[in-house]
């Protein structure tokens, strides 16, 4: 396996031959050029990962060639300059034009190899960081081209540079955190931290320490406010916060400073607060369950996320996204939803919103074997997917115990098979591969009433 492709550009044959031999011993694939013209021609065909470029060459010198590459936007790989007559000014000019490093002749072969490897490792890390950043921005971006999603993105972009709190509301499962992250990533705070806090997971006893940090003896602990400094603090399930703690949070936001537990020193902070809830906070305020001052503090810039049933035209894109997501994150086999399956999913009401769709896709990728996902598999993955309101739909709940989840799925699965078989247990037994007596016992244990007991 080659370690990389390197082009050596030098007018001295002995230097070209020596460098080529040394680098090939290090498992690099090497090609050589004796001048700028030859280098330009070879580069297009060879497509190197790194270039070693001599400065002093007849005709077009190395600095001029480097400048041409830079001006034509062809500096896509690291370039290491080589010279036996280098000056500080030359090295500075080469660096300004985009050269990775500068090596003097006579060459130290150990330094040459080390510099080449460092340049390739550095470039690889840069590309991986760019790939991860692009991937994370895609993962955290709202999905869909519907008018609903376009309006949401436009609204978010209007407020990204304001530092005032934002309140995101919407039904459970509408993926409110995705919109919070999108807001953060589009703002000037994007290079700083995005700290996500689930309020419902915190106890009243450790709330102050978790939020504001602590100082005990010689042991300091930073809280969420310090961790999010310069960035964004996302508060999920804000309606679950205890009233006494709401008062402390409101006071902190109002005063623009906090105090660590065990300390008397105040600390100013520069963070953006984004809160989210699936509750009607104003209703909770009127019922005395949520502080009105905190509500009005958080609700300066409200964003409401509509349920999935209001923008079902985005479902095909959501399906494609989550197939890619699980294929990339979990190594699951890529599968394609047929047009018929997509249309049926678009007619469904999605009470669990995007979270339900995401769980369904994951389940289909895990359990399925065929290349395409069609209507018949939808029935197995989440019960009868239908728009008929009088039929009970199975919504996967991945928080329930395994035994309960299995029994619930088996019940929905066998009920569906019975309906399809017109109530014939014999036909169901044959379809699911069970002995009829065992199937009778299973139906009874699951509490399924058999209306049409056949005698076969």
Per-residue pLDDT tens over the stretch 340-373: 999 999 988 999 999 999 989 988 888 777 889 9
Q: In the 3-class helix/strand/coil scheme, how is the chain assigned residue by residue?
A: CCCEEEEEECCCHHHHHHHHHHHHHCCEEEEEECCHHHHHHHHHHHCCCEEEEECCCCCCCHHHHHHHHHHCCCCCCCEEEEECCCCHHHHHHHHHCCCCEEEECCCCHHHHHHHHHHHHHHHHHHHHHHHHHHHHHHHCCCCCCCHHHHHHHHHHHHHCCCCCCEEEEECCCCCHHHHHHHHHHHCCCCCCCEEEEEHHHCCCCCHHHHHHCEEECCEEECCHHHHCCCCEEEEECHHHCCHHHHHHHHHHHHHCEEECECCCCEEECCCEEEEEECCCHHHHHHCCCCCHHHHHHHCCEEEEECCHHHCHHHHHHHHHHHHHHHHHHHCCCCCEECHHHHHHHHCCCCCCHHHHHHHHHHHHHHHCCCCEECHHHHHHHHCCCCCCCCCCCCCCCCCCCHHHHHHHHHHHHHHHHHHHCCCCHHHHHHHHCCCHHHHHHHHHHCCCCCCCCCCC
Where does a domain end: 106, 135, 164?
135
Is 148 a residue whose pLDDT tops 80? yes
At residue 395, the pLDDT reads: 55
Assess if residue 140 is contained within a domain.
Answer: no
Residue-wise pLDDT for 380-439, tens only, equals: 665 444 433 333 445 555 666 677 777 778 887 887 787 777 678 888 888 888 887 778
For residue 158, being part of any structural domain is answered with: yes
**Per-chain mean pLDDT for the chain:** 85
Residue 87 has pLDDT above 80, yes or no: no
Q: Are residues 64 and 176 in the same domain?
A: no
Asked if residue 246 and residue 130 are part of one domain, the reply reads no
75 and 205 share a domain? no
- The pLDDT value given to residue 397: 58
Domain CATH number, residue 328: 1.10.8.60
| Statement to judge: residues 176 and 159 lie in one domain | yes
The pLDDT score that the predictor gives to residue 137 is 52
Domain ranges, residue 439? 400-456
Number of domains in the chain: 4
Average pLDDT over residues 177-206: 90
On whether both 182 and 299 belong to a single domain, the answer is yes
- Assign 130 a pLDDT band (cuts: 50, 70, 90): low
The enclosing domain of 170 has a CATH number of: 3.40.50.300
Higher-confidence position of 92 and 178: 178
> How confident is the model at residue 294, as a pLDDT?
96
Question: Is residue 388 domain-shared with residue 407, that is, in the same domain?
Answer: no
Q: Is residue 298 domain-shared with residue 388, that is, in the same domain? A: no
Q: Is residue 331 located within the same domain as residue 254?
A: no
- Whether 342 maps to a domain, the answer reads yes
């Amino acid at each position: 396996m080659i370690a990389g492709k390197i082009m050596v550009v030098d007018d001295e044959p002995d230097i070209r031959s020596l460098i080529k031999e040394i680098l090939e011993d290090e498992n690099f694939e090497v090609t050589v050029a004796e001048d700028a013209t030859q280098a330009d021609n070879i580069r297009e065909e060879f497509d190197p990962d790194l270039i070693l470029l001599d400065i002093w060459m007849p005709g077009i010198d190395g600095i001029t060639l480097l400048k041409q590459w830079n001006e034509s936007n062809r500096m896509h790989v690291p370039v290491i300059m080589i010279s036996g007559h280098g000056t500080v000014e030359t090295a500075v000019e080469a660096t300004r034009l985009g050269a990775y490093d500068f090596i003097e002749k006579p060459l130290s072969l150990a330094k040459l190899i080390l510099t080449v490897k460092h340049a390739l490792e550095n470039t690889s890390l840069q590309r991986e960081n760019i790939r991860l950043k692009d991937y994370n921005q895609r993962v955290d971006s709202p999905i869909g081209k519907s008018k609903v999603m376009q309006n949401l993105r436009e609204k978010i972009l209007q407020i990204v540079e304001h530092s005032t709190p934002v309140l995101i509301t919407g039904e459970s499962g509408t993926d409110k955190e995705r919109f919070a992250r999108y807001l953060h990533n589009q703002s000037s705070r994007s290079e700083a931290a995005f700290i996500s806090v689930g309020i419902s997971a915190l106890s009243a006893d450790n709330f102050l320490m978790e939020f504001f940090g602590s100082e005990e003896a010689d042991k300091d602990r930073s809280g969420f406010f310090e961790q999010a400094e310069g960035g964004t603090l996302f508060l999920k399930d804000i309606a679950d916060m205890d009233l006494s703690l709401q008062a402390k949070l409101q006071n902190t936001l109002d005063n623009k400073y906090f105090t660590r537990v065990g300390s008397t020193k105040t600390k100013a902070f520069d963070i953006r607060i984004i809160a989210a809830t699936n509750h009607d906070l104003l209703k909770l305020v009127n019922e005395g369950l949520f502080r009105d001052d905190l509500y009005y503090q958080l609700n300066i810039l409200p964003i409401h996320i509509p349920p999935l049933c209001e923008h079902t035209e985005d479902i095909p894109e959501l399906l494609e996204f989550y197939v890619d997501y699980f294929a990339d994150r979990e190594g699951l086999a890529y599968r394609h939803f047929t047009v018929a399956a997509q249309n049926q999913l678009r007619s469904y009401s999605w009470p669990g919103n995007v979270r339900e769709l995401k769980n369904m896709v994951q389940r289909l990728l895990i359990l399925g074997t065929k290349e395409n996902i069609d209507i018949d598999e939808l029935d197995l993955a989440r019960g009868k997917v239908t728009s008929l309101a009088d039929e009970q739909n199975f919504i996967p709940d991945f928080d329930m115990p395994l035994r309960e989840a299995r029994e619930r799925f088996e019940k929905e699965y066998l009920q569906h098979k019975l309906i399809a078989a017109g109530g014939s247990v014999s036909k169901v037994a044959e379809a699911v591969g069970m002995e009829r007596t065992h199937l009778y016992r299973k139906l009874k244990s699951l509490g399924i009433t058999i209306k049409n007991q056949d005698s076969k």
